[in-house]
Protein backbone atom coordinates (compact mmCIF):
# COMPACT_ATOMS: atom_id res chain seq x y z
CA UNK A 1 0.00 0.00 0.00
CA UNK A 2 1.22 3.50 -0.90
CA UNK A 3 0.70 5.76 2.13
CA UNK A 4 0.78 8.82 -0.14
CA UNK A 5 -2.23 7.64 -2.18
CA UNK A 6 -5.76 8.26 -1.01
CA UNK A 7 -9.23 7.57 -2.45
CA UNK A 8 -12.01 10.04 -1.68
CA UNK A 9 -15.72 9.52 -2.15
CA UNK A 10 -16.60 12.37 -4.50
CA UNK A 11 -20.36 12.91 -4.51
CA UNK A 12 -20.72 16.10 -6.53
CA UNK A 13 -21.36 18.17 -3.41
CA UNK A 14 -19.39 21.01 -1.84
CA UNK A 15 -18.17 19.03 1.17
CA UNK A 16 -16.47 16.16 -0.63
CA UNK A 17 -14.99 18.45 -3.29
CA UNK A 18 -13.41 20.76 -0.69
CA UNK A 19 -12.18 17.72 1.27
CA UNK A 20 -10.50 16.47 -1.91
CA UNK A 21 -8.83 19.86 -2.41
CA UNK A 22 -7.56 19.90 1.19
CA UNK A 23 -6.07 16.44 0.83
CA UNK A 24 -4.30 17.41 -2.38
CA UNK A 25 -2.90 20.49 -0.63
CA UNK A 26 -1.60 18.22 2.13
CA UNK A 27 0.49 16.39 -0.44
CA UNK A 28 -1.62 13.30 -1.06
CA UNK A 29 -1.98 11.73 -4.49
CA UNK A 30 -5.80 11.95 -4.53
CA UNK A 31 -8.24 9.98 -6.65
CA UNK A 32 -11.94 10.86 -6.65
CA UNK A 33 -14.41 7.98 -6.66
CA UNK A 34 -18.09 8.50 -7.48
CA UNK A 35 -20.27 5.61 -6.36
CA UNK A 36 -23.21 4.73 -8.59
CA UNK A 37 -25.94 3.56 -6.27
CA UNK A 38 -29.42 4.06 -7.74
CA UNK A 39 -30.09 5.27 -11.28
CA UNK A 40 -31.91 8.58 -11.10
CA UNK A 41 -31.57 11.73 -13.19
CA UNK A 42 -30.07 13.47 -10.17
CA UNK A 43 -27.48 10.72 -9.77
CA UNK A 44 -26.44 11.05 -13.41
CA UNK A 45 -26.01 14.80 -13.05
CA UNK A 46 -24.05 14.38 -9.82
CA UNK A 47 -21.69 11.94 -11.51
CA UNK A 48 -20.99 14.39 -14.32
CA UNK A 49 -20.45 17.19 -11.82
CA UNK A 50 -18.09 15.05 -9.73
CA UNK A 51 -15.97 14.36 -12.79
CA UNK A 52 -15.78 18.09 -13.61
CA UNK A 53 -14.85 18.86 -10.00
CA UNK A 54 -12.06 16.30 -10.06
CA UNK A 55 -10.67 17.93 -13.18
CA UNK A 56 -10.93 21.39 -11.63
CA UNK A 57 -9.16 20.26 -8.45
CA UNK A 58 -6.51 18.42 -10.45
CA UNK A 59 -7.08 14.85 -9.30
CA UNK A 60 -7.85 11.61 -11.12
CA UNK A 61 -11.37 10.22 -11.17
CA UNK A 62 -13.25 6.95 -11.45
CA UNK A 63 -16.81 5.64 -11.15
CA UNK A 64 -17.48 2.62 -8.95
CA UNK A 65 -20.64 0.56 -9.45
CA UNK A 66 -22.43 -0.13 -6.16
CA UNK A 67 -25.92 -0.50 -7.62
CA UNK A 68 -26.43 -4.20 -7.01
CA UNK A 69 -25.43 -3.98 -3.35
CA UNK A 70 -27.43 -0.79 -2.90
CA UNK A 71 -30.59 -2.48 -4.14
CA UNK A 72 -30.20 -5.56 -1.96
CA UNK A 73 -28.86 -3.88 1.17
CA UNK A 74 -30.49 -0.44 1.25
CA UNK A 75 -33.60 -0.28 -0.95
CA UNK A 76 -34.97 -3.66 0.15
CA UNK A 77 -34.33 -2.72 3.78
CA UNK A 78 -36.19 0.56 3.20
CA UNK A 79 -39.20 -1.23 1.70
CA UNK A 80 -39.41 -3.89 4.40
CA UNK A 81 -39.06 -1.36 7.20
CA UNK A 82 -42.06 0.69 6.13
CA UNK A 83 -44.16 -2.41 5.53
CA UNK A 84 -43.34 -3.57 9.08
CA UNK A 85 -44.33 -0.25 10.64
CA UNK A 86 -40.76 0.98 11.22
CA UNK A 87 -39.08 4.19 10.07
CA UNK A 88 -35.82 3.26 8.31
CA UNK A 89 -32.50 5.11 8.35
CA UNK A 90 -30.98 4.30 4.94
CA UNK A 91 -27.77 6.33 5.44
CA UNK A 92 -26.68 4.25 8.43
CA UNK A 93 -27.19 1.05 6.44
CA UNK A 94 -25.61 2.38 3.24
CA UNK A 95 -22.44 3.59 4.94
CA UNK A 96 -21.73 0.17 6.43
CA UNK A 97 -22.92 -2.16 3.68
CA UNK A 98 -22.32 -0.23 0.44
CA UNK A 99 -20.39 3.06 0.63
CA UNK A 100 -17.42 2.01 2.72
CA UNK A 101 -17.08 -1.47 1.14
CA UNK A 102 -17.11 0.19 -2.30
CA UNK A 103 -14.48 2.76 -1.27
CA UNK A 104 -12.36 0.08 0.40
CA UNK A 105 -12.43 -1.94 -2.80
CA UNK A 106 -11.43 1.12 -4.86
CA UNK A 107 -8.67 1.89 -2.33
CA UNK A 108 -7.15 -1.57 -2.59
CA UNK A 109 -7.44 -1.58 -6.37
CA UNK A 110 -5.52 1.72 -6.53
CA UNK A 111 -2.85 0.49 -4.13
CA UNK A 112 -3.78 3.28 -1.72
CA UNK A 113 -3.59 3.09 2.07
CA UNK A 114 -6.41 5.49 2.97
CA UNK A 115 -9.90 6.50 1.96
CA UNK A 116 -11.60 9.81 2.74
CA UNK A 117 -15.06 11.36 2.77
CA UNK A 118 -16.50 14.84 3.23
CA UNK A 119 -18.34 14.03 6.46
CA UNK A 120 -18.29 16.49 9.34
CA UNK A 121 -16.87 14.03 11.85
CA UNK A 122 -13.48 12.65 12.83
CA UNK A 123 -11.72 9.33 13.30
CA UNK A 124 -9.77 8.65 16.48
CA UNK A 125 -7.70 5.85 17.99
CA UNK A 126 -7.71 4.96 21.68
CA UNK A 127 -4.29 3.76 22.83
CA UNK A 128 -5.67 2.09 25.96
CA UNK A 129 -8.20 -0.16 24.22
CA UNK A 130 -6.49 -0.32 20.83
CA UNK A 131 -9.75 0.57 19.12
CA UNK A 132 -10.75 3.12 16.48
CA UNK A 133 -13.88 5.23 16.80
CA UNK A 134 -15.83 8.04 15.16
CA UNK A 135 -15.47 11.38 16.93
CA UNK A 136 -18.34 13.86 16.98
CA UNK A 137 -17.49 16.94 14.86
CA UNK A 138 -16.09 19.97 16.66
CA UNK A 139 -18.92 22.09 15.21
CA UNK A 140 -21.83 20.17 16.73
CA UNK A 141 -24.48 21.95 14.64
CA UNK A 142 -23.19 20.23 11.48
CA UNK A 143 -22.07 16.97 13.11
CA UNK A 144 -22.63 13.88 10.91
CA UNK A 145 -21.19 11.23 13.22
CA UNK A 146 -24.63 9.69 13.95
CA UNK A 147 -24.84 7.89 10.59
CA UNK A 148 -21.34 6.40 10.94
CA UNK A 149 -21.74 4.27 14.06
CA UNK A 150 -21.79 0.98 12.13
CA UNK A 151 -18.33 1.35 10.58
CA UNK A 152 -15.97 -1.50 11.46
CA UNK A 153 -12.51 -1.32 13.00
CA UNK A 154 -10.93 -2.27 9.67
CA UNK A 155 -12.81 0.46 7.82
CA UNK A 156 -12.07 3.09 10.46
CA UNK A 157 -8.37 2.25 10.45
CA UNK A 158 -8.16 3.37 6.81
CA UNK A 159 -10.53 6.37 7.00
CA UNK A 160 -9.68 10.09 6.96
CA UNK A 161 -12.22 12.93 7.39
CA UNK A 162 -10.62 16.30 6.56
CA UNK A 163 -13.65 18.44 7.54
CA UNK A 164 -13.68 17.44 11.22
CA UNK A 165 -13.01 20.96 12.55
CA UNK A 166 -14.57 23.05 9.76
CA UNK A 167 -17.63 25.27 9.74
CA UNK A 168 -19.93 24.80 6.74
CA UNK A 169 -19.62 28.51 5.95
CA UNK A 170 -15.83 28.18 5.82
CA UNK A 171 -16.11 25.22 3.46
CA UNK A 172 -18.34 27.21 1.10
CA UNK A 173 -15.99 30.20 1.21
CA UNK A 174 -13.02 27.99 0.38
CA UNK A 175 -14.98 26.47 -2.51
CA UNK A 176 -15.62 29.99 -3.88
CA UNK A 177 -11.98 30.93 -3.50
CA UNK A 178 -10.75 27.95 -5.51
CA UNK A 179 -13.50 28.31 -8.12
CA UNK A 180 -15.62 25.21 -7.49
CA UNK A 181 -19.14 25.01 -8.96
CA UNK A 182 -20.43 23.59 -5.70
CA UNK A 183 -19.76 26.68 -3.54
CA UNK A 184 -23.42 27.68 -3.23
CA UNK A 185 -25.00 24.31 -3.94
CA UNK A 186 -27.83 23.56 -1.44
CA UNK A 187 -27.37 20.69 0.99
CA UNK A 188 -29.13 17.46 0.10
CA UNK A 189 -32.24 16.99 2.25
CA UNK A 190 -34.18 14.01 0.92
CA UNK A 191 -33.32 10.34 0.62
CA UNK A 192 -31.03 10.12 -2.39
CA UNK A 193 -32.92 7.40 -4.26
CA UNK A 194 -36.37 9.07 -4.00
CA UNK A 195 -36.16 12.26 -6.04
CA UNK A 196 -39.68 13.59 -5.45
CA UNK A 197 -39.81 12.71 -1.74
CA UNK A 198 -42.92 10.56 -2.24
CA UNK A 199 -42.04 7.46 -0.24
CA UNK A 200 -45.43 5.83 -0.64
CA UNK A 201 -45.31 5.93 -4.45
CA UNK A 202 -41.75 4.62 -4.44
CA UNK A 203 -42.75 1.68 -2.24
CA UNK A 204 -45.66 0.74 -4.49
CA UNK A 205 -43.50 0.95 -7.61
CA UNK A 206 -40.73 -1.27 -6.22
CA UNK A 207 -42.60 -4.00 -4.37
CA UNK A 208 -41.41 -6.60 -6.87
CA UNK A 209 -37.93 -6.25 -5.37
CA UNK A 210 -39.21 -8.13 -2.31
CA UNK A 211 -39.99 -11.21 -4.41
CA UNK A 212 -37.09 -13.67 -4.96
CA UNK A 213 -35.67 -13.51 -8.49
CA UNK A 214 -36.20 -17.25 -9.07
CA UNK A 215 -39.98 -16.88 -8.73
CA UNK A 216 -41.74 -16.04 -12.00
CA UNK A 217 -44.98 -16.34 -13.90
CA UNK A 218 -48.29 -16.76 -12.11
CA UNK A 219 -46.71 -17.30 -8.71
CA UNK A 220 -44.82 -14.00 -9.00
CA UNK A 221 -47.99 -12.14 -10.00
CA UNK A 222 -49.86 -13.62 -7.05
CA UNK A 223 -47.12 -12.66 -4.60
CA UNK A 224 -46.98 -9.13 -5.99
CA UNK A 225 -50.75 -8.82 -5.71
CA UNK A 226 -50.54 -9.93 -2.08
CA UNK A 227 -47.86 -7.35 -1.31
CA UNK A 228 -49.94 -4.60 -2.90
CA UNK A 229 -53.00 -5.58 -0.88
CA UNK A 230 -50.89 -5.51 2.27
CA UNK A 231 -49.53 -2.05 1.51
CA UNK A 232 -52.92 -0.63 0.51
CA UNK A 233 -54.73 -2.16 3.48
CA UNK A 234 -56.58 0.50 5.42
CA UNK A 235 -56.83 0.32 9.18
CA UNK A 236 -57.96 2.10 12.29
CA UNK A 237 -56.77 5.13 14.16
CA UNK A 238 -57.16 4.35 17.86
CA UNK A 239 -56.33 6.23 21.05
CA UNK A 240 -54.01 4.90 23.78
CA UNK A 241 -56.96 3.03 25.32
CA UNK A 242 -57.82 1.29 22.05
CA UNK A 243 -60.90 3.42 21.29
CA UNK A 244 -61.65 3.72 17.56
CA UNK A 245 -61.08 7.23 16.22
CA UNK A 246 -61.35 6.79 12.46
CA UNK A 247 -59.91 5.05 9.42
CA UNK A 248 -56.38 5.58 8.07
CA UNK A 249 -54.93 5.03 4.58
CA UNK A 250 -52.31 2.37 5.39
CA UNK A 251 -49.40 2.22 7.83
CA UNK A 252 -46.73 3.18 5.28
CA UNK A 253 -48.12 6.72 5.36
CA UNK A 254 -47.20 7.36 8.99
CA UNK A 255 -44.24 7.66 11.33
CA UNK A 256 -43.85 8.16 15.08
CA UNK A 257 -44.34 11.80 16.13
CA UNK A 258 -46.16 12.77 12.92
CA UNK A 259 -48.87 15.42 13.26
CA UNK A 260 -49.47 16.78 9.75
CA UNK A 261 -51.20 14.80 7.02
CA UNK A 262 -53.08 12.42 9.32
CA UNK A 263 -56.37 13.08 7.54
CA UNK A 264 -58.44 13.01 10.70
CA UNK A 265 -60.07 15.86 12.66
CA UNK A 266 -60.30 15.33 16.41
CA UNK A 267 -60.75 18.91 17.53
CA UNK A 268 -57.31 18.90 19.11
CA UNK A 269 -53.72 18.28 18.08
CA UNK A 270 -52.93 14.58 17.66
CA UNK A 271 -49.66 12.77 17.01
CA UNK A 272 -48.71 9.25 15.95
CA UNK A 273 -47.58 7.45 19.11
CA UNK A 274 -47.35 3.86 17.85
CA UNK A 275 -47.78 1.81 14.67
CA UNK A 276 -49.10 -1.74 15.00
CA UNK A 277 -48.54 -3.60 11.71
CA UNK A 278 -50.17 -6.83 12.93
CA UNK A 279 -53.55 -5.23 13.57
CA UNK A 280 -52.96 -2.36 11.11
CA UNK A 281 -53.66 0.16 13.87
CA UNK A 282 -52.14 3.61 14.24
CA UNK A 283 -52.23 4.86 17.83
CA UNK A 284 -52.74 8.60 18.32
CA UNK A 285 -52.01 10.65 21.43
CA UNK A 286 -51.37 14.19 22.56
CA UNK A 287 -47.80 15.51 22.57
CA UNK A 288 -47.24 14.50 26.17
CA UNK A 289 -47.99 10.89 25.26
CA UNK A 290 -44.96 10.80 22.92
CA UNK A 291 -42.45 10.96 25.78
CA UNK A 292 -40.73 7.85 27.13
CA UNK A 293 -37.99 7.04 29.66
CA UNK A 294 -36.81 3.78 28.08
CA UNK A 295 -35.97 2.24 24.71
CA UNK A 296 -34.79 -1.17 23.57
CA UNK A 297 -32.20 -1.54 20.81
CA UNK A 298 -30.97 -4.55 18.84
CA UNK A 299 -28.66 -5.20 15.87
CA UNK A 300 -25.81 -3.82 17.96
CA UNK A 301 -22.56 -2.38 16.63
CA UNK A 302 -19.59 -1.29 18.74
CA UNK A 303 -16.67 1.09 18.13
CA UNK A 304 -14.78 2.44 21.14
CA UNK A 305 -16.71 0.06 23.37
CA UNK A 306 -15.87 -3.56 22.54
CA UNK A 307 -18.60 -6.06 23.37
CA UNK A 308 -16.06 -8.31 25.13
CA UNK A 309 -14.88 -5.53 27.44
CA UNK A 310 -16.07 -5.93 31.01
CA UNK A 311 -17.28 -2.33 31.33
CA UNK A 312 -20.54 -2.86 33.16
CA UNK A 313 -23.08 -3.44 30.39
CA UNK A 314 -23.88 -6.82 31.91
CA UNK A 315 -24.47 -5.39 35.38
CA UNK A 316 -27.89 -4.12 36.53
CA UNK A 317 -26.45 -0.60 36.85
CA UNK A 318 -25.08 -0.61 33.32
CA UNK A 319 -22.92 2.23 32.02
CA UNK A 320 -23.57 5.90 31.46
CA UNK A 321 -23.58 7.47 27.98
CA UNK A 322 -25.13 10.24 25.94
CA UNK A 323 -27.62 8.78 23.47
CA UNK A 324 -28.86 10.28 20.21
CA UNK A 325 -32.08 8.75 18.87
CA UNK A 326 -32.21 10.69 15.58
CA UNK A 327 -29.86 12.60 13.30
CA UNK A 328 -30.67 16.09 14.53
CA UNK A 329 -30.85 15.11 18.19
CA UNK A 330 -28.35 16.72 20.59
CA UNK A 331 -28.42 13.66 22.84
CA UNK A 332 -29.66 12.77 26.30
CA UNK A 333 -27.84 11.26 29.26
CA UNK A 334 -28.84 7.65 29.85
CA UNK A 335 -27.78 4.35 31.37
CA UNK A 336 -27.23 1.33 29.14
CA UNK A 337 -27.33 -2.35 30.05
CA UNK A 338 -27.70 -5.69 28.29
CA UNK A 339 -31.12 -7.29 28.66
CA UNK A 340 -29.95 -10.89 28.40
CA UNK A 341 -26.92 -13.13 28.72
CA UNK A 342 -26.65 -13.42 24.93
CA UNK A 343 -26.00 -9.66 24.75
CA UNK A 344 -28.32 -9.24 21.77
CA UNK A 345 -30.24 -6.23 23.08
CA UNK A 346 -29.49 -3.14 25.15
CA UNK A 347 -32.01 -1.32 27.30
CA UNK A 348 -31.64 2.47 27.43
CA UNK A 349 -32.93 4.25 30.51
CA UNK A 350 -32.94 8.00 29.85
CA UNK A 351 -32.18 10.50 32.58
CA UNK A 352 -35.20 12.51 31.43
CA UNK A 353 -38.14 11.58 29.18
CA UNK A 354 -37.35 11.83 25.44
CA UNK A 355 -39.81 12.56 22.65
CA UNK A 356 -40.85 10.19 19.87
CA UNK A 357 -38.62 7.15 20.29
CA UNK A 358 -39.03 5.69 16.80
CA UNK A 359 -38.66 1.97 15.91
CA UNK A 360 -36.28 1.53 12.98
CA UNK A 361 -34.18 4.59 13.79
CA UNK A 362 -30.67 4.33 15.23
CA UNK A 363 -29.76 4.97 18.86
CA UNK A 364 -26.09 5.99 19.00
CA UNK A 365 -24.08 6.00 22.23
CA UNK A 366 -21.38 8.63 22.95
CA UNK A 367 -19.03 9.14 25.88
CA UNK A 368 -18.44 12.54 27.51
CA UNK A 369 -15.75 13.37 24.94
CA UNK A 370 -18.05 12.86 21.97
CA UNK A 371 -16.55 9.51 20.98
CA UNK A 372 -18.92 6.86 19.63
CA UNK A 373 -19.14 3.84 21.92
CA UNK A 374 -21.58 2.00 19.69
CA UNK A 375 -25.22 1.91 18.75
CA UNK A 376 -28.14 -0.16 17.56
CA UNK A 377 -31.58 -0.12 15.99
CA UNK A 378 -34.57 0.93 18.11
CA UNK A 379 -37.17 -1.81 18.52
Q: CB of 368 within 8 A of CB of 322? A: yes
Find residue 276's DSSP bridge partners: 281
End-to-end alpha carbon distance in the chain: 42
CA gap 114, 159 in Å, rounded: 6
This prediction's pTM: 0.94
What number is the average pLDDT over the span 242-269? 95
Q: CB of 50 within 8 A of CB of 33? A: no
Region of 304 on the Ramachandran plot (φ > 0 left; ψ -120 to 50 alpha; else beta): alpha
> Does residue 175 have a pLDDT over 90?
yes
User: What amino acid positions are annotated as catalytic residues?
Assistant: 94, 192
Angle of helix 76-83 relative to helix 217-232, nearest 10 degrees? 50
C-alpha dihedral over 340, 341, 342, 343, to 10 degrees?
60
pLDDT for residue 251: 96
What number is the average pLDDT over the span 275-304? 97
CA gap 335, 332 in Å, rounded: 10
pLDDT for residue 140: 77
Kindly report, residue by residue over 1-53, the tens digit of the pLDDT: 778 999 999 999 999 999 999 999 999 999 999 999 999 888 999 999 999 99
What number is the average pLDDT over the span 354-379? 97
> Does residue 189 have a pLDDT over 70?
no
Amino acid sequence: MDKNKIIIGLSGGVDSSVAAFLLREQGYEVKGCFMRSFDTETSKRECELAERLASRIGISFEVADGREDFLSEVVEYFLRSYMEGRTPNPCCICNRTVKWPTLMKAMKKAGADKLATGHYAGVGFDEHSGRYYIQRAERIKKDQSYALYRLSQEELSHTVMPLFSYYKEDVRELARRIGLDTADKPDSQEICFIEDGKYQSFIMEHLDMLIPADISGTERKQMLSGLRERVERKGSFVDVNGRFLGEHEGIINYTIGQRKGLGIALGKRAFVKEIRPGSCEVVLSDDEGLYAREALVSDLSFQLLAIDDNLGLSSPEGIEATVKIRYGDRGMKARLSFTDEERNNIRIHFQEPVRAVTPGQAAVFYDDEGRILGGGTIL
